[in-house]
Amino acid sequence: MAYWLMKSEPDVFGIDDLKRVRVEPWDGVRNYQVRNMMRDDMHKGDLAFFYHSNCDEPGIVGIMSIASQAYADPTQFDADSKYYDPKSDPDEPRWLLVDVRYKRKLKRNISLKELKSHPELAELPLVKRGNRLSVMPVDERDWEFILGLE
DNA sequence: GCCAACGTTGGC
DNA sequence: GCCAACGTTGGC
């Protein structure tokens, strides 16, 4: 089983939204590296941290599970969607998504600032310079360490 | 294939 | 709102 961290802006879709709907297609990924990870490395049953980005206190706020294998993101074919990609061929969809399922909120927000303060997490992609991926792998050691902070 | 211009992400 | 970092695009 693999572990992940997935970013979302709480103003758009936050942990409380996921708690309400329970299962959500994680649409809008438009980065090839992330697509390839979802396609090749992500599996139903994996666990992921829900991370709030671009907000007052960026940080990890909850845990979800991966609820499906990767499949075509329908928003790429929807001309009304902000994720519309006219260059994507329906016979060979360019963009994929996975469904995610709510598991629980953390007892508290573990902020980016706090994550950066722990030398143990120096190799966590999130805290590395210039990293902008919206989905990234978390190794088991880091996963356990972060849970230990809760 | 190079690379400048441009767009996006996301912390601050 | 600023800006660093990085991805994408398109001319050549």
> Band of the pLDDT at A82, cuts 50, 70, 90?
confident
Q: A91 phi and psi, to 5 degrees?
A: -80, -15
Query: SS3 for A129?
Result: coil
Protein contacts on strand B: list nucleotides below 7 Å from a Cβ: 8-12
pLDDT digits (tens, 9 = 90+) for A104-120: 999 999 999 999 999 99
Q: Which two tokens stand for residue A121?
A: 């997490």
The region of weakest confidence among A49-53, A59-63, A131-135 is A131-135
pLDDT surpassing 90 at residue A131 = no
Q: In sequence order, what DSSP letters do the residues of A49-63 get, joined into one string?
A: EEEE-SSSS-EEEEE
Distance of CA A118 to the CA centre of its chain: 22
User: What Cα–Cα distance (Å) separates residue A5 from each residue in A11, A50, A79, A94, A117?
Assistant: 18, 6, 29, 22, 18
Domains by residue range for chain A, with CATH: 3-149 (3.10.590.10)
Q: Which nucleotide has the shortest C1'-to-CA distance from A7?
A: B10
| Å: A132 CA to C9 C1' | 19
Q: What is the mean pLDDT of residues A119-136?
A: 90
Q: Which nucleotide has the shortest C1'-to-CA distance from A35?
A: C7
> Band of the pLDDT at A89, cuts 50, 70, 90?
confident
